[in-house]
Amino acid sequence: MKVLFLGTPSFSLPSLEALHKEVGVSWVVTQPDRPSGRGMRKRPPPVKELAEKLGIPVFQPESKEELGSIVSELKPDVCIVVAYGMILPKKVLRIPKFGFLNLHPSLLPKFRGPAPIQRVLMAGEEETGNTVILMTERVDAGPILAQEKVRVEEKDNLKTLSEKLSKKGSELLVKTLMAWVEGRVEPTPQKEEEATYAPPVREEELRICWLAPSGSVRDRVRGLYPDAYTYFRGKRIKVLKVSPVEGEGEPGEVIDERHLIVACGSGAVKIEELITPKGRRVSGEDFCRGYSPKRGELLK
C-alpha cells in the first residue's frame, strides 16, 4: 500500500513513526523550511527531520496548486494528515483510493479548528480525546472512523496534553487505517448541532486578564503554556504555572509577597513557576527573593 503522510510539527512525529513501522510510509509532505530562532535562520520542520532520518522522500510544496500536482503525480492509495497546516483542495481529496484520513486531537464535532488542545484547556474541560475522520472539503467536518476519550488531568498543560494525545493518537491512527482499508469500519456522520470551533490563539489572548476568576486564570495559563504573560514593574514575565487559592484584593494585586499570591476577579492564584524579565525559569518563591515584590503591588 502506497501511503502519503502529511504533517509538520512535533505533534505529528509519533504518527509518522508508528505508521512507517507498521505499514510503511512511501512519501512525506510537510511545510517549507521557515526562519526561526534569534538569528532567523531557516529551519526544517520536525516532520522533515524525522522523515529524512527514516529515509522517506520529502516534498515541501509552497502552494495548494503545487500540493495538488504532487498528489496527482504520486497517486497514493491513502493519505494520512496529522497537523499539516494547509487546507487541501477538493479535487485532491478524490485522488487516493482510500481517501484522506485525518487525526484531530479533540472529540469531534467539539473543538473543530486549528487550536483544539489550547481551547480544551482554556475552557477548563475535564475530558478530550482523538478522532480519526475521513476528510471532506469542510474543515474537520468529515465522517468519523474512530474516536477515543482522554482524561485531562489537573497537572496537564499544553505541552503535556499534546504529548499524551499525539502518542495515543498514533496508536489509534494505525488501528483505524488497517480497519478502514480492510473494510471493517463504517463512517459515522458528525452531529452538526453539537459542533464547536477552536480558533487560532490571538496575540492579545496571551496576556493574563486578572479580572477573570482564579480558575479561569489557571486554565488560560495551562492552555497557553509557555506563553501566557503579565507585566511586573513594566517588564514582561511569562507565567508557567499557577494554583487557585483563597484570597481577595484588587485584580492583579500581590496579596502575599513571600509566596507570590495574586488576587483575581474572584479568588486568587499562587504563581508556582514563571520566567523572569531576564529569561530565567524560577519558582514563585525564588522570584520573590530575587525581585522583592511588595504587598499591594500590581501585576498588569
Question: Is residue 300 one of the residues assigned to a domain?
Answer: no
What was the pLDDT predicted at 86?
86
- Tell me the average pLDDT of the chain: 96
Output the nine-digit C-alpha cell for 17.
513513526
Check whether residue 132 and residue 60 sit in a common domain. yes
Same domain, 161 and 274: no
Task: Based on the fold, state whether residues 81 and 130 are members of the same structural domain.
Answer: yes
Q: What's residue 40's pLDDT?
A: 74
pTM, 2 dp = 0.95
What pLDDT score does 41 carry? 83
Per-residue pLDDT, 34: 87
Q: Is 279 a member of any domain?
A: yes
Number of structural domains (the chain) is 2
Reading the block at residue 70, the C-alpha cell is 504532487
Tell me the residue type at 189: P
pLDDT tens digits for range 148-176: 999 999 999 999 999 999 999 999 999 99
Q: What is the pLDDT of residues 77-92, one digit of tens each?
A: 999 999 998 888 888 9
The tens digit of pLDDT for each residue in 198-226 reads 999 999 999 999 999 999 999 999 999 99
In the chain, the DSSP E strands lie at: 3-7, 27-29, 34-36, 41-43, 58-59, 78-82, 100-104, 127-134, 144-151, 229-232, 235-245, 254-256, 261-263, 268-275, 281-283
Residues 185 and 66 in one domain: yes
- Domain contains 91: yes
Does 182 reside within a domain?
yes
> Mean pLDDT throughout 25-36?
93
pLDDT in tens, 259-298: 999 999 999 999 999 999 999 999 999 999 999 999 999 9
What CATH code is carried by the domain that includes residue 235? 3.10.25.10
Residue 160's domain comprises 3-194
pLDDT at 89: 82
